[in-house]
Structure 1
Amino acid sequence: MASPLAYPKTKGTTVNRYNNRATYDVKTIHSIVNESSVLHVSFAPDAEDPFPAILPMIGTMGSFDYPSADLDEPLDCYLHGYVSSRIMRLATSSPQGLPVSIAATKVDGLVLALTPNANSYNYRSAILHGYASIVEKTEEKLWAMELITNSVVPDRWKNSRVPPDSAEMQSTKILRVKITAASGKVREGGPHDEAKDATREDVTGSTWIGVVPVVEKLCEPIPASQNKVGELPNYITDYVAEMNAKVEAYALNAARLP
């Protein structure tokens, strides 16, 4: 049986602190990205500007060349943005692609320990390094727009007014990020207190310890004042129920681990 694909370790992506929580597994990292509502994309805006720029963006993993590729296979990261934004201008003028770093984080629990220093989060995080280029071909651009739209709510694309008109196509740009390296970090379980505190009855008897599960829950959809559709479509209600069950199960399971 073949070993799962893993990203190469580089100087910039190798996890040093708590490296027992590190993962370079392709499927795990891609899953964290796809389950994060917002991706933070960092890049160098100008040689004379000492500060990196960071943008919150909507994006998802996918492969235009192999649309049926699973999360455990090589994928690009597609990002949605406005035509005149700085990152789009820089990507346009970068023949090799604009170097970017992408961060994704999910918080699954508040870990409360005996001492403030031992408090923590249960979390899943991923960092990706790669080169961002503008998607120029219309076929790939439309495919990526559908992919990103459906990453928000599955089947939303075909249940909307599509295809985009010429003005929408001109004002929207899609970045394709070729990933060169990536790493993830995952914490699960309860608090890990030092023996010097765990053996003190005056401390253990007066301080509650445990995990408060954190769930990014989807609430009951509220129709817009302009909405003219009588019943909430099944594809939305099904997604809300499925996603809530999934994230709650993960957070509760992570909290119950040692």
Structure 2
Amino acid sequence: MNLTRTTPSSTTPAGLPMTIAASHLDGLVLALTPNSHSYNYRSVVLFGHATLVTDPAEKLYAMELITNSVVPQRWANSRVPPNAAEMQSTSVLKVKVVNGSAKIRTGEPHDERGDLEDGGLLERVWTGVVPVYSVMGEPVAGGYNRVAEVPGYLEGWRKEVNKEAEGYAREAVGREVEKKTVDE
């Protein structure tokens, strides 16, 4: 964050050069041989330049977007706006993306032709995909919580996120598979 506060020279683009990478695992792909094992995944790498957000209104707006991207409607259902100390201690970067690269791997195992022609091997080794997804568990109230029930916006979001995560992981196999929801 401190590096973004320096003034760029006239020969460099505005802002601190930045690389942002993210990966998400959707499944373990188990083949006939370990050399053919793989993963179903989604990944992205972005390149750009970051600058510090200094305008208080823009910073507040960014903080709201960030908060609501974690749990929708959470900003409005918490103590806002942040107090002066919270605003002072929080830094927000704005990144202008210049380019990027994304990769997605979906589907079933892909084994070598020789292995696929070996009937004994096909009868001995299980192949397939183990879907991988995160589950948002039952909310646990804080020690000083006085609200009797989990708010509807939170519980509805939790169930929807779980359903979507499982659905995507299973769809990444690349064919219709038997589905059971997390809440069943």
User: When the two structures are superposed, what TM-score results if normalisation uses the length of structure 1?
Assistant: 0.65
Residue 99 of structure 1 deviates from its aligned partner by 0.5
Distance 2:121 2:49 in 1: 51
Contact 1:188/1:257 (CA < 8 Å) preserved in 2? no
Tell me whether 1:242 sits opposite 2:155 in the alignment: no
- Correspondent of 1:99 among 3, 9, 17: 17
The percentage of counterpart residues that share the same residue type is: 51
What residue number does 2:28 align with?
110
AA in 2 matched with 1:236: L
Q: Deviations over 1:44-103 (max 9, x none)?
A: xxxxxxxxxxxxxxxxxxxxxxxxxxxxxxxxxxxxxxxxxxxx0111115321111101
Q: 1:212 to 1:167 in 2, by over 3 A?
A: same
Native 8 Å contact 1:149 1:157 kept in 2: yes
Aligned pairs for 1:1-258 (under 5 A) are 88-95=1-8, 96-257=14-175
**Structure 2 counterpart of 1:144, one-letter code:** A
**Could you say which residue in structure 2 is the equivalent of 1:78?**
none
Q: Show the counterpart of 2:179.
A: none
Deviations 1:145-176 (A, max 9, x none): 00000011000001000000100000000000
SS in 2 for 1:173: coil
Distance, in Å, in 1 between the alignment partners of 2:47 and 2:6 is: 19
What is the CA–CA distance in structure 1 between the aligned matches of 2:107 and 2:133, rounded to whole Å? 15
Is the 8 Å Cα contact of residues 98 and 133 (structure 1) preserved in structure 2? yes
* Structure 1 position 183, deviation (Å): 1.2
Query: Larger Rg: 1 or 2?
Result: 2
How far off is 1:202 after superposition?
2.3
Question: For this pair of structures, how many residues does the alignment match?
Answer: 171
CA distance in 2, matches of 1:190, 1:221: 35
Aligned mates of 1:207, 1:147 — CA distance in 2: 48
RMSD (Å), alpha carbons: 1.2
> Structure 2: which amino acid aligns with 1:92?
R
Unaligned runs of 5+ in 2: 9-13, 177-184
In the alignment, the residues of structure 1 paired with residue 30 and residue 57 of structure 2 have an alpha-carbon distance, to the nearest angstrom, of 50
Q: TM-score by structure 2 length?
A: 0.90
